[in-house]
Amino acid sequence: MKKQFLKRALVLACLTAGAGMTSAHAAGTKTITDMMGVKTEVPVPPARIADLWFAHNELVVMLGGAPSIAMTVDRESMAPWMYRIAPILHDAEQLQGTTPTPEALLASHIDLVFATPQLSGLDVYRRANIPAVGVNFHDTQGLLACLDLTAEVLGTKHAHDIASDYRDYLQQTESFLSSRLSSLSENARPRVLHILSLSPLKIDGGGTIIDEWLHLAGGRNVAVAIKGSKQAISLEQIAGWNPDVIILGGAAGKPDDAALGPVWQSLKAVKSGKVFRNPAGVFPWDRYGTELALQLRWAAKILHPELFQDVDMLSETKMFYRRFFSYDLTDEEARRILAALPPV
């Protein structure tokens, strides 16, 4: 056991020394403060990034950093549209987990890690002298702050320009929705349940970005008292809420009414035909990604179709991907994203 430990330590020391030699050839470094308030010295620009948070990969891709992603937790089977829009990701190592060892990162000459404290070993990487930036957010303001931080780390004019343009678009979207929904009474807001997964049954409650976009789109989250996302729940509890509208996550599974049984079939949303599948593109629109801006318009339109008849989600989707991902969707591709279907 002692020999194995010494051998591991020697390998790590050698790789760390090699990493130091590699960074000496970088253009330089700068100090940034990450989302956890930790100051980190990062290379300028980062050449080989390991992005260990599923949601954050979309931010890097949108900001033009896909060529620098050398390791990613977003495998093609999980995020097929991400690979369609940024095919260079096929050159990256697709990780099976969220905590590669420092040795693996150093052996792959990773010079920057993006990770969340909850999913990854940030402190372990820092002790191995691998620059590691903590990223996380739980609401729209956090999303914008994370986007600005990512642009700062990438350091390109393009990244800063896209981050600024996205901020404008998201704020314009929120203002647009607010102006249309301002006269709504509380009772005019439909009671909505967002289901992440049908089997096992999991929902998204209060204190989440899901709860925030539901409110901004003119709805009321029936599960607001249950704090957090991905919360296990029973059909009986859902029946107690009896929502007006149910929104299923893109990968929630097929709502087989017969298989789900009489409790499901008795729900108001099911009987009135108001069970909707959430779109999913580069990342699921309803979760922690930049397509949140599209999610707001889509959700407002399904919750209040009479107020948003002029919103053409096909055109809006194509515009968004062209503007922020430099990718021209065909009509068919946009329809598939809106239907939460993968690329052909």
- Tell me the domain boundaries of the chain: 2-164, 185-338
Q: How far is CA 288 from CA 129, 144, 259, in A?
A: 29, 11, 30
Give the span between the Cα atoms of 102 and 117, in whole angstroms. 16
Two tokens, residue 216 = 């901004």
Look at the pTM and tell me if it is higher than 0.75: yes
Tell me the C-alpha distance between 41 and 36, whole Å.
14
**Of the candidates 328, 17, 287, the residue with the CA atom closest to the CA atom of residue 143:** 287
Report the half-sphere exposure of 21 (CA within 13 A, side-chain side).
7
The pLDDT tens digits along the chain (344 residues) read: 434 433 444 334 444 444 443 333 456 999 999 999 999 999 999 999 999 999 999 999 999 999 999 999 999 999 999 999 999 999 999 999 999 999 999 999 999 999 998 877 899 999 999 999 999 999 999 999 999 999 999 999 999 999 999 999 999 999 999 999 999 999 999 999 999 999 999 999 999 999 999 999 999 999 999 999 999 999 999 999 999 999 999 999 888 766 678 999 999 999 999 999 999 999 999 999 999 999 999 999 999 999 999 999 999 999 999 999 999 999 999 999 999 999 99
Written out in words, the top-level CATH class of the domain with range 185-338 is alpha beta
pLDDT score, position 16? 40
The two domains 2-164 and 185-338 share their CATH topology (first three levels equal) = yes
Distance CA(78)–CA(217), nearest Å, equals: 27
Supply the CATH classification number for the domain 2-164.
Answer: 3.40.50.1980
For position 58, what pLDDT does the model report?
A: 98
Distances (CA, A) of 133 to 114, 122, 185, 254, 278: 5, 8, 43, 38, 31
